[in-house]
Amino acid sequence: MLHYAVVFFVIALIAAVLGFGGIAVGAASIARGLFVLFAILAVASFIFGLVRKG
């Protein structure tokens, strides 16, 4: 999931450099959403791992 966030971020950067503002904003929004989802799942996984150990 983090991989896809980075891919969309790179697409947003390339689109911004080439002047495609709408595409850049859309790709950046998708990248931000995927990163937030990744961060939430990573924290949840860490917490559940601590709870299971003991």
State the sign of the Cα–Cα–Cα–Cα dihedral 11, 12, 17, 22.
Answer: positive
Q: Give the pLDDT band (50/70/90) at residue 1.
A: confident
Residue with tokens 């904003």: 25
Residue recorded with tokens 């559940």: 48
Q: Looking at residue 2, what is its pLDDT?
A: 84
Query: pTM, whole model, 2 decimals?
Result: 0.79
pLDDT score for 22? 92
Encode pLDDT of 8-41 as tens digits: 999 999 999 999 999 999 999 999 999 999 999 9
- If one compares 37 and 1, the residue with the highest pLDDT of the two is 37
